[in-house]
Amino acid sequence: MTASLVNRLPGRSAFSGCVRGVVGVVVALALASGVAAAQAAPQPPAPGGCPQSLPALFDQVSQSVVSIGAISINPYNLDRRIERVGGSGVIIESSGLILTNSHVVFGRQVITVTLDDGTSLNAKLIGADPIFDVALIKIPPPTKGSLPVATLGDSSRLAVGVEVYAIGNPLGLDQTLTRGVVSAVNRMIPGAAWSLAEPMIQTDASINPGNSGGPLLDPCGQVIGITTATLPGAQNIGFAVPVDLIKDVIPRLISKGRVVRPWLGVQGQFVVPGLKQLLKVPLVDGFLIEAVEPGSPAEQAGLQGGMFELTIEGQPILLGGDIITQVNGTVLSDPRALATLLSGLEVGSRLTMTVVRDGKPSAMQLTLIERPVLLWDLPGQRHGTTAAGSGAPSSRGTSPARKTIAF
């Protein structure tokens, strides 16, 4: 357009040369100015207003991330007695205390830790909680120098959209960094039993077998969770245990090696109006017992589970068991009422319950004991741990099972 306009002006030859010269100078100045501005412009700050770049963040935090190898021996499985799994962990104290997932180290006979510099050390289990999938292991501190330590942050201030990073050893690939955002907070894993549910951080940062136990970091490099689970068949859906929950569990794992919980020993579900309408049988509102745990206070008190199975919309239900309608004066109308009740109970609490059997209510008293380690607490029994073959990386999967309530 500039050339055609110049050609239409009087004295276009001389004028066009002048214009070309001016345009050339302007372009040259603009280019020079742009180059100078580019050279003078500071590098963009790290996300979240933190002072360090992502490469600097990785260099700092990755030194505290370790690779974990574990061996368990099953004397009852002659075809595959030895199982090897791999995972990740993060050093949280210079004394050698390492945070990881329970499903990586709990129930293992040998635990080996490989540091960022390649040093391999034997570790011992300090404590584990299979329900929250949190564990502490310990390695001997070095004779010279000190171990690099990660900083535990604050997960209560997380919001959807915040950028996060996962560091771990997916599929045996040491010190791998993946990047994503917080997709949801306070997420309950689909398929987890109600009593085993915990508020998770959901992220689209890539999490693979072997990442288990590694840190999930905020933009400042602080640990805001440890990666724990993925949804089989899904893409970019991973979960991490929030660090605020972890900080509450750590002192108990150090002092007692476990989290002490009261235990009644029943499994079941609530009787909902739709179930009564569908079955056309005289069910009362309350908690329907489907199964009673062996050795539990419920078994000792004579509570009875279901006797025949019925499948409704693909979900099985055991009918014919006792129905708990009240506990210590609290009407068990829904899971929220049960959660409120359980929050005030502890080991040794005395329960007075109203139980309906064959349409007849009766009073029953029992005392809660400490919940023991149950079969599905062991690695691979509840969450579908992936550990196929020698050196298989460990992951905590989920299943589409309905939300059975157990307490």
- Catalytic residue numbers, as ranges: 103, 133, 212
CA neighbor of 227 nearest in space, from 252, 250, 202: 202
For residues 2 and 160, what is the distance between their CA atoms, to the nearest angstrom? 50
For residues 80 and 157, what is the distance between their CA atoms, to the nearest angstrom? 45
Quickly list H helices, 193-292. 243-256, 273-279
Go through 286-323 and write b for each residue having 16 or more CB atoms within 10 A of its CB, e for each that does not.
bbbbbbbbeebbbbebebebbeeeeeeeeeebbebbbb
CA neighbor of 220 nearest in space, from 99, 63, 54: 54
First to last CA, the chain: 80
Number of residues assigned to the chain: 407
- Both tokens of residue 241? 């245990």
Contact 226, 240 (CB under 8 A): yes
Question: For 55, phi and psi rounded to 5 degrees?
Answer: -60, -40
For residues 90 and 71, what is the distance between their CA atoms, to the nearest angstrom? 19
Contact 319, 336 (CB under 8 A): no
In one-letter notation, the amino acid at residue 302 is G
DSSP β-ladder status, 82-91 and 65-73: antiparallel
Quickly list H helices, 223-302. 243-256, 273-279, 297-301
The helix or strand, by DSSP H or E, that contains position 129, with its residue range, turns out to be strand 124-129
Task: Give ∠ CA 49-54-57 in degrees, rounded to 5.
Answer: 90
